[in-house]
Amino acid sequence: MIDDSPWNRYRSVPLVYRIAVGFVLGGIFGFIVGKPAAALEPLGTLFLRLLKMLVVPLIVFTLLSGVKQLTPTKLGRIGGSVVGLYLATTAIAGFLGLVVANILNPGTGVQFTGGKAQSASPPSLGEVFLNIVPTNPVAAFGNGDVLSIVFFTLVFGLGLAIARDSTESEHVRDGIKTFFEIVDGIVEGLFTVVWGVMEYGVVGVFALLATSMATHGLGAIESLAMLVAAVALGTLLQISITYLGLITMLGLGQHPIKFLRGAKDAMVTAFSIRSSTGTLPVTMQNAEDDLKIDESLYGFSLPLGATINMDGAAIRQAITAVFAANLFGVHLGLGDQVTLLVTVVLVSIGTAGVPGAGLIMLTVVLQSVSLPLTVVGFVAGVDPILGRIATMNNVTGDLAVATLAAKWNNAIDFSTGVWTDDETAGETGLAISD
């Protein structure tokens, strides 16, 4: 007998659509009710805290579960392809951002007033790479330093895998195998928790949008509409040309709609919460359940991508820098724009995948071409919507790179998931919620 209870009817609707409805209704509710809607903020904050709670455990245990299948040679091959793709897509993103900015010229003929920006010093390339290695792994875990956590966990897991395959002690070998089996069980448990958090996410996203609309309203967004439109167009071009065209159609030989079906949950979640690392639990589940990428690859590439692959940030920073130049009547020559592009790519690597980090890193980009930092005060008014657009781009790029790297390393199954010819495949939202 089929259970036709209201709860089951509710859950029969794909989770991604329920979250999208919560997003829209939350915005409408906040706009109509106004400031009293800000009382819902704790419900939204709870959703963000639940996601952040899962980030470090997921990184550690999925990496350990994936690395058990890797040899140093295979890791070097996978790591090289993943990092190379991340750098390439970020460079393309920055270039597309500059093209859009030069065509639309946001900020021309517009005057703003605003506050002062917080200044930051640009990190050197050497600092970026040295900071990957933690001097104190315990402190890295405590501070949530994702890239350092990835490095330490990867080295530790690879050491266990090598010891398992090279030791002559059966006791040691069995102990390591048992450890990895326990890790696999923990991963399954974590994904069950992800399911529960995402079910609550419908309420959380509603509260987040209601609070955002009640706090900021439409005025700040309307005053900088051209900047928002330019970033949105740059993102659309990056997704269409780079991820769907170059990677999905040419690199994978697959239809773009199939990839979008597999990435939609992560894209909606990223747009809702403005955090690449916060979206990581959903991104990993899309990779495994929908895109059918092997854990040995996505367990490495996605945590890394959530930290260093900031294509959306590259687009946003490039366009905002041109916006600032137009705002203050400064002409950016070819040399300035080349400097801007290089800075955007390097800075995006060090941009934290959390809400608000883009504003701080924008000061670095503006300093590179000697532009006034006061523009950051203007941009802060529309930071919520710019951050959502950029973050959605970031996680889409993470999944696109992981998919192509998986094909290159024979770590993906194109005979199932969203890659089948069944039009309904992948339309059930998160598979774990079925």
By CB neighbour count within 10 A (0-12 exposed, 13-18 middle, 19+ buried), where does 192 fall? exposed
User: For residues 329 and 351, what is the distance between their CA atoms, to the nearest angstrom?
Assistant: 28
Q: What pLDDT score was predicted for residue 230?
A: 92
Q: Which residues contact 276 (CB under 8 A, 6 or more apart)?
A: 270, 305, 306, 307, 310, 353, 354, 391, 394, 395, 398
Q: Is 415 exposed, middle or buried (0-12, 13-18, 19+ CB in 10 A)?
A: exposed
**pLDDT band for position 408 (cuts 50, 70, 90):** very high
Q: Is the pLDDT of residue 77 over 70?
A: yes
User: Cβ of 194: how many Cβ atoms within 10 Å?
Assistant: 23
Mean pLDDT of the chain: 78
Task: Please tell me the pTM assigned to this model.
Answer: 0.66
Question: Which has more confidence, 408 or 64?
Answer: 408
Count of the separate structural domains present in the chain = 1
pLDDT of residue 434 exceeding 50 = no
pLDDT in tens, 297-319: 888 888 878 877 888 888 988 88
CATH number of the structural domain spanning residue 309: 1.10.3860.10
For residues 412 and 198, which has the higher predicted lDDT (pLDDT)? Answer: 412
- Answer for the pair 269, 282: CB distance below 8 angstroms, yes or no: yes
Note whether residue 4 is domain-resident: no
How many Å apart are CA 165 and CA 58, to the nearest integer? 25
DSSP state of 421: S
Structural domain contains residue 372: yes
More confident residue, 329 or 90: 90
In a domain, 263, yes or no: yes
Residue 1 domain flag? no
The per-residue pLDDT for range 29-68, each reduced to its tens digit, is 888 888 898 898 888 888 878 877 877 887 788 778 767 7
Specify if 111 maps to a domain: yes
Higher per-residue pLDDT: 433 or 122: 122
pLDDT score at 99: 93
User: Does some domain include residue 7?
Assistant: no
pLDDT beyond 70 at 112: no
Q: Which domain holds residue 80?
A: 14-433
The confidence score (pLDDT) of residue 164 equals 86
Q: How far apart are CA 68 and CA 161, in angstroms?
A: 5
* Domain membership flag for residue 415: yes
Average of per-residue pLDDT across 331-353: 68
Looking at residue 116, its pLDDT comes to 41
Rounded percentage of the chain residues whose pLDDT exceeds 90 = 21
CB 337 within 8 Å of CB 358:
no
**Is 20 part of a structural domain of the chain?**
yes
pLDDT tops 90 at residue 175: yes
